[in-house]
Amino acid sequence: MSRYYTQSVYFKEYNMAEFDSTPTKALRIERDYSVPAKRVFAAWTTEGDLQRWAWGGSRDQVRVEADPCVGGAYRFTVVRSTGETWAYHGIYLDIVPYKRISCTLEWDPAQEPETNDEKLTVEFLDNGNGTTMVFLHEGIPNADIRSKHRINWNDAFNALGILLRQSPTY
């Protein structure tokens, strides 16, 4: 387990292969935020909030489309200053307000090695001082990509922490 103290946001990151029998094709990250679950959930379901943090607070051109309901679709696109475009999209599988979001994830264009079974699950748990966000990314094709996802998701969750400090109520 690694512990980080980044911009006053405390979070724990677990390497699933070291702590339980979860396959190495999964990445689990926990973050504690000092705001209610309702606010963290809103940051995951509001296009304006998602645009501010989903690419790690990128200064590049970010576009977010989201219909956060079961069966609804989402799409995140970033155009880098180099002109390179990255995008992913998916379908919301399960949404329990203020408790859980689950969705598929597909890269556009498909990444190598290609996988069609990536899934994200985010749980929002009241911890007495705010919210513990438990993030699980499943279906990651290999350890190298998993390592890259770990860096990028942590960058995004740092940006989420900044957003929540700047706008603690919804």
Q: Does any domain span residue 99? A: yes
Query: Whole-number mean pLDDT of the chain?
Result: 84
Q: Does any domain span residue 111? A: yes
Q: Does any domain span residue 141? A: no
Q: Does any domain span residue 12? A: yes
Q: Structure pTM?
A: 0.83
Total domain count for the chain? 1
Which range marks the domain in which residue 93 is found? 2-135+153-166
Select from 152, 88, 136 the least CA-distant residue to 115.
88
Q: CA–CA separation, 101 vs 29, rounded Å?
A: 15
Q: Does any domain span residue 100? A: yes
Please check whether residue 125 is in contact with residue 131, taking contact to mean a CB–CB distance below 8 angstroms. yes
Q: Does any domain span residue 89? A: yes
Query: What is the per-residue pLDDT across 28-75, written as a single tens digit (0 to 9) for each?
Result: 999 999 999 999 999 999 999 999 998 886 667 889 999 999 999 999
Q: CA–CA separation, 66 vs 44, rounded Å?
A: 10
Query: What is the per-residue pLDDT across 106-140, written as a single tens digit (0 to 9) for each?
Result: 988 776 666 668 999 999 999 999 999 999 999 99
Query: How much is the pLDDT for 116?
Result: 66
CATH assignment at residue 60? 3.30.530.20
Q: Does any domain span residue 144? A: no
